[in-house]
């Protein structure tokens, strides 16, 4: 990681010689807001961003992948836990409109997935430099991808494939694992429009899971790999919910320290949260939301504090919100109000000291910012994130 910081510093220095833009990248705002027990400060990282994805390492280092405002350049930003100075790097340029998703391996090295027209790209830091690979070339990859790294360093990647290699409509979720230097890819689900929103995780036993939407029939599914094939079941479906609403958009799957699965996601007008308990999923409404008007408005991000309580970042009518469970009920606060930009593209991570970090696009100038949240009274919530009644 020290080598990465050194190379990033050299990279920034070269930029300073040819453009004044770099000065903007290191501006850190001191603006702070206080709401419902959490105090937030805001750090400006870069001049423009969409589709942010954030992860925090075990030393408190903050890693962010994102695209620029055109969505055609994938970038990476990093700051250590001991500094407020951000370093940024370009991962790849001249792409199709790309989303990004980041994950860290056991050594805190970043791994990033992003679609590029007819290819899914994968980049990782090997301790000295970035290595770029192509996964499953051919056919159109769009909307979202996701990835997770096992404790042994094995990457699992999922994505939404819009067209097959011959140009025919496809619209199914595919998944791949890197084994013996080769990517082994397969289609996970052949239901219509399966996986436009997807999320991949590996639990503490090394088992991969993928949550994904079935749109527009309105289902949220989860798949577990048993070593030979993927076993698929429902998290939330129209059959289980008499409201008959579409659901599953913007899903974010996480496994807690005990291996229990949790997921945040949207119905058309709600943010929901579900936890797997005793072979079934308990579902609860977290917040009512305004209809986003685009798939990009349905993006949620889930993390846990040290007590095991969930925290979620998400969009609502252009505002960036933070929802958290205190052991008894959900609390919702506005972290950044709405403005000219329609979407916040947020992502949440929790540091080893319980500091919450949320990357997002600023609504006024389109810049990349990170909101830093700390509990105002340093209270430890009761570790009871799943003790709520079944919504159904």
Query: Domains in the chain, ordered, with CATH?
Result: 24-375 (2.120.10.70)
On whether the CB atoms of residues 363 and 338 are closer than 8 A, the answer is: yes
Closest by alpha carbon to 371, among 335, 340, 343, 345?
335
Q: What is the predicted pLDDT for the residue at 29?
A: 31
Beta-carbon contacts of 195 under 8 Å, excluding residues fewer than 6 positions away, are 158, 159, 160, 172, 173, 174, 188, 189, 212, 213
For the ranges 60-69, 132-141, 371-380, the maximum mean pLDDT occurs at 60-69
Ramachandran angles phi, psi of 18, nearest 5°: -120, 0
pTM to 2 decimals?
A: 0.88
- Give how far the C-alpha of residue 19 lies from the chain's centroid of Cα atoms, to the nearest Å: 31
Beta-carbon contacts of 166 under 8 Å, excluding residues fewer than 6 positions away, are none
Residues composing the chain: 392
Question: What number is the average pLDDT over the span 93-116?
Answer: 94
pLDDT grade, residue 1 (50/70/90)?
Answer: low
Question: What number is the average pLDDT over the span 242-268?
Answer: 92
**Of the listed ranges 242-246, 257-261, 272-276, the one predicted with least confidence:** 242-246
**Of the listed ranges 128-132, 146-150, 276-280, 310-314, the one predicted with least confidence:** 276-280
Q: What is the predicted pLDDT for the residue at 293?
A: 85
pLDDT grade, residue 6 (50/70/90)?
Answer: low
Q: What is the predicted pLDDT for the residue at 26?
A: 27
Q: What is the predicted pLDDT for the residue at 3?
A: 55
pLDDT at 91 over 80: yes
Q: What is the predicted pLDDT for the residue at 189?
A: 95
* CA dist list (Å): 193 to 2, 42, 252, 290, 300: 43, 37, 18, 23, 19
pLDDT tens digits, residue range 269-294?
999 999 999 889 999 999 999 988 89
Q: What is the predicted pLDDT for the residue at 18?
A: 32
Q: What is the predicted pLDDT for the residue at 215?
A: 87
On whether the CB atoms of residues 182 and 170 are closer than 8 A, the answer is: no
Q: Give residue for tokens 């007008």.
A: 269
Return the DSSP state at 72: -
pLDDT tens digits, residue range 298-347?
999 999 999 999 999 999 999 999 999 998 999 999 999 988 888 999 99
* First-residue to last-residue Cα distance in the chain: 47
* CA dist list (Å): 105 to 112, 180, 204, 350: 11, 18, 13, 16
Question: What number is the average pLDDT over the span 60-82?
Answer: 96
pLDDT at 39 over 50: yes
């Amino acid at each position: 990681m020290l080598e990465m910081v050194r190379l990033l510093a050299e990279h920034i220095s070269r930029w300073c010689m040819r453009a004044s833009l770099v000065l903007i990248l290191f501006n850190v705002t001191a603006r702070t807001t206080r709401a419902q027990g959490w105090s937030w400060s805001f750090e400006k990282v870069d001049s423009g961003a969409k589709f942010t994805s954030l992860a925090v390492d075990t030393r408190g280092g903050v890693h962010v992948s994102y695209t620029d405002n055109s969505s055609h350049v994938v970038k990476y930003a990093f700051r250590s836990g001991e500094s407020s100075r951000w370093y940024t790097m370009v991962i790849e340029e001249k792409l199709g409109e790309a989303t990004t998703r980041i994950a860290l391996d056991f050594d805190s090295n970043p791994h990033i997935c992003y679609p590029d027209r007819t290819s899914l790209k994968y980049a990782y830091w090997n301790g000295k430099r970035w290595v770029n690979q192509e996964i499953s070339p051919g056919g159109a990859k769009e909307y979202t991808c996701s990835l997770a790294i096992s404790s042994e360093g094995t990457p699992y990647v999922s994505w939404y494939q819009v067209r097959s290699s011959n140009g025919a409509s496809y619209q199914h979720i595919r998944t791949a694992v890197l084994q013996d230097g080769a990517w082994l890819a397969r289609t996970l689900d052949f239901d219509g429009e399966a996986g436009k929103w997807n999320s991949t995780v590996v639990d503490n036993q090394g088992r991969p899971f993928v949550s994904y939407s079935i749109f527009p029939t309105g289902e949220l599914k989860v798949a577990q790999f048993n070593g030979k094939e993927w076993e698929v079941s429902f998290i939330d479906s129209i059959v289980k919910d008499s409201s008959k609403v579409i659901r599953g958009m913007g899903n974010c799957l996480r496994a807690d320290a005990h291996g229990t699965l949790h997921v945040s996601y949207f119905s058309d007008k709600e943010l929901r949260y579900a936890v797997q308990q005793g072979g079934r999923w308990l579902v609860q409404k977290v917040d009512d939301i305004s209809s986003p008007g685009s798939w990009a408005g349905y993006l949620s991000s889930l993390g846990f504090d040290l007590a095991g309580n969930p925290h979620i970042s998400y969009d609502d009518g252009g505002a960036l919100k933070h929802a958290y469970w205190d052991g008894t009920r959900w609390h919702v606060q506005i972290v950044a109000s709405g403005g000219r930009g329609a979407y916040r593209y947020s992502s949440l991570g929790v540091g080893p000291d319980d500091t919450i970090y949320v990357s997002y696009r600023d609504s006024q100038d389109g810049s990349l910012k990170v909101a830093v949240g700390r509990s105002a009274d340093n209270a430890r919530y009761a570790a009871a994130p799943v003790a709520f009644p079944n919504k159904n």
